Chain A
Amino acid sequence: MTKKKKSRIRPGKMVEFVLQSLLKKPATVNYPFTKMPMPDKFRGKLRYDAAKCIGCMLCVKDCPSGAIKIKKVGEKRFEADIDLGKCVYCAQCVDSCPKKALMATPEFELAQIDRNKLKVIFDAPPEAPGGTEQKAGGSQ
């Protein structure tokens, strides 16, 4: 059945290669002590700038997983509530936002044992611009 080309068949073809590898550096990285840099376009944890938001709700409408909520907390003051457990890190909200109030950051180590800690609330600024992230885990 096999097309036999007797002269070319060499058992243990990879032995040489394997022995060479013994002398090479490991191909893996010693995580978490060494970390790989994230690519520029990486879509990690979102950042919300409350000062820029106009409350148009396009991000809420387009989010495929219902992970983001925008709440009106006062006259022209909005607050974002992002569920990192639901977010699929597609950054569609970033694309949809007409005011560039949302941004994807390179932050990717987001695993939590407590589900409540996956909720992140970005407060509206009291008066001054610049949204601040409330303590993680503050689910209202």
Chain B
Amino acid sequence: MSQSIEIKTELENKFDWLKDQVRITRENRLWLDVPADKFFVIFDYLISLAGFKELCTITGTDEGDNYGLMYHLARTDGKVLNLKTLVPKEGGSMKSIISYFPGGTIYEREINDLLGVKFEGLPPGRRYPLPDNWPEGEHPLRKGWQPDKLSKVEGIKEAGEERLNMPIGIRSEISQPTDFSLIRRRDDVQISIGPQHPALKEPESFNVTLQGEKISGIEIKLGYNHRGIEKACEQRSYIQDVYLVERICGICSHTHSTCFVQAVEEIAGLQLPKRAAYIRTLVGELERVHSHLLWLGVAGHEVGFDTLLMYTWRDREIVMDILAMLTGNRVNYGINQVGGVRRDVTAEQAADILKAVDQLEEQTKYYIEVATEEQTLIQRLSGVGKLSKEDVLKLGTVGPTGRASGVERDVRRTDPYAAYGELDFKVITSDQCDVYGRAVVRLLELMESYSMIRQVLKKLPDGPISVRAPRRIPAGEAISRYEAPRGEDVHYVKSNGTENPERVKVRAPTLANLQSVTKMLEDRYLADLPIVIAAIDPCFSCTDRLIKVEDKGLMTWEEIRQYGIEWYKKQGVDFARMTGKIGRSKE
């Protein structure tokens, strides 16, 4: 804790009014509340002189007459200082921090949307994460806000007239017969990609401005997958929340559940049994293996190398089967609980895992060979999606995307959790700064994961796999970090002594990485867009967490079918005629 104390003393020496204000809850975790007028003095000091150069995220809370804004600042040695200030609800506002962290824009937008805090100096842009036609003045994360209130608000405005919800660039032209002369007269053309697009695996929309074939501007709209998980967490118990946060993402499910339970365990002061820590690490690394293999296939697919997709996904089944055997399911493993893990590893399972790891390692070696020798792949990926080291630091890019630009940033090393402190592994980096570098980093990380899995199984300590956790978690707060396959995942949990948390905040790695996409695509060709986006290994269901459930009533199977047929008929496609023969033979 010595270093944390050093930071504290230095702060106190510099600003004597901070005497006994800094709280240290554990090694690496410092908390400080400052009044709004003195916020920037401290903020500036922490960034420029104390080395807190990373912004994990900003958490907004609703606290009676005020909004709380907590800036989670991190240092490369794993220290996190949570700097909090209060903004009055009545007429209060906060200055934007984008001059310090350009990547902070999206966090401020999120708080602006969900809580309604105003940020001075936040550039105009599309809202995040709520839909563009969301009614003004409805802020779902406010404490009194209830989802059912929305249906009473005069329906959701149709956004047509504002050209908002529709991501298509030249919207007015689209809704009427397209006037091509209008487009041709402009020297730039806008193309909308998404929310549904074959190059994207999840709904998100990119509004790309082109000059010729080159991208001159890009606007990203997210939020199509937002499911209100943060709000829902507040309304459920800690036990239920573990399964809820697990479903933030299907690929990083262990990531989110571990990150969440770590925070809750810290607040409750639970000592995680060693064996549980090792099992969490084991599942975490297996998850990384499956995620990286999945990425490799997708990347291959995006550049037209579908052979790679087929083989990597076939091999990925090996690790999926192992995960299913170990936890009971292929995805959403349900292995975590507050206080430990739910399932133990038997000796036979350990042997099976080792066998599978050998097999995977052999395959991975082959893929590394392919990646370093296959000319088409190298030439297609090199120099594409350049992101300099400086930009990584400025934009807060995390995970393999950042590491491929030579930034050695890995929570497993800097702020170890679970059993990572006791494992021997290398943090893989590359100086390529392009998509090729990102591929190589992920491939080499696979090799590290195999080595870690072997170490975990070798060292697996005996003992219990969980400790009893109370249903009521004492009041407190904690921030937990986890190195997901895509980068750093951050959960902030605040408890109030009841069975339900007061606030759960999730910052998934893709949100941090997505902002670098704009930079990577600057002045590049449109054809590079799919692979550049894919190269950050985006996961938008992690990134988005809220949506309004529209109560249209249930539609029966027959009704949906009928609806589809009618809809197409209106577009001039008559299925009845086209498939008359097939239809008749079926009926």
Residues of A within 8 A of B (CB): 1-2, 8-14, 17-18, 27, 39-43, 61-65, 88-92, 95-96, 104, 113-115
Q: What is the bound-complex CA distance between A8 and B317, given in angstroms?
A: 31
Contact (Cβ within 8 A) B317 A10:
no
The answer to whether the Cβ of B201 comes within 8 Å of any Cβ in the partner chain is no
B382 touches A2 (CB 8 A): yes
Taking each of B242, B325, B328, which has the highest tally of chain A beta carbons within 10 Å of its own beta carbon?
B328
Distance of A27 Cα from B312 Cα, bound (Å): 12
A122 to B382, CA, bound (A): 60
- From A2, A9, A40, A43, give the contact of B334 (CB < 8 A): A43
Across the interface, name the chain B residue whose C-beta is closest to A94.
B342
Contacts of A63 in B (CB 8 A): 240
Confirm or deny: B17 has a beta carbon within 8 angstroms of a beta carbon on chain A: no
Report the nearest B residue to A91, measured CB to CB. Answer: B334
Query: What string of 1s and 0s marks CB contacts (under 8 Å) between B292-317 and chain A?
Result: 00000000000000011001001001
- Taking Cβ atoms with an 8 Å cutoff, the residues of B that contact A are 236-237, 239-244, 247, 307-308, 311, 314, 317, 324-329, 332, 334, 337, 342-343, 366, 369-370, 372-376, 378-379, 382-383, 436, 554, 556-557
A39 touches B375 (CB 8 A): no
The 6 A-B residue pairs with the shortest CB-CB distance in the complex, in nearest-first order: A41-B328, A64-B240, A13-B374, A64-B243, A1-B383, A2-B382
Contact across chains for B342 and A89 when beta carbons are under 8 A apart: no
Task: Give the shortest distance, in Å, between A86 (CB) and chain B (any CB).
Answer: 12
Cβ B557 vs Cβ A14 within 8 A: no
Q: Can you give 7 contacting A-B residue pairs, CB < 8 Å? A: A10-B373, A13-B373, A17-B311, A41-B325, A62-B240, A64-B241, A96-B239
Chain B residues with CB below 8 A from A18, complex form: 307
CB distance from B353 to the nearest CB of A (A): 13
Alpha-carbon distance between A36 and B376 when the two chains are bound, in angstroms: 37
In the complex, which residue of chain B has the Cβ closest to the Cβ of A10? Answer: B373
Docked-complex contact A90 and B243, CB < 8 angstroms = yes
CB contacts (< 8 Å) of A13 on chain B: these are 369-370, 373-374
Nearest chain-B residue to A4 (Cβ)? B378
- CB closest residue in chain A, given B558: A113
B373 engages A92 (CB within 8 Å): no
CA distance A14 to B372 in the complex (A): 12
B327 touches A9 (CB 8 A): no
How far apart are B42's CB and chain A's nearest CB, in angstroms?
Answer: 40
A14 CB to nearest B CB, Å: 6
Contact A114:B557 (CB < 8 A) given known A2-B382, A41-B327, A91-B328: yes
The smallest C-beta distance from B311 to any residue of chain A, in angstroms, reads: 7
Q: Given the complex of chains A and B, what is the CA–CA distance between A88 and B243 in angstroms?
A: 9
- Docked CA distance A92–B242 (Å): 10
User: Which residues of the other chain, B, contact A104 by a CB distance below 8 angstroms?
Assistant: 328
Q: How far is the CA of A14 from the CA of B376 in the complex (A)?
A: 11
Choose from A8, A39, A90 the contact partner of B325 (Cβ within 8 Å).
A39
CB distance from B400 to the nearest CB of A (A): 19
Distance of A17 Cα from B307 Cα, bound (Å): 10
Most buried by B among A18, A62, A64: A64
B332, B334, B337, most chain A CB atoms within 10 A: B334
Contact B327 A62 (CB under 8 A): no
Q: What residues of chain B lie closer than 8 Å to A92, measured between beta carbons?
A: 239-240, 243, 334
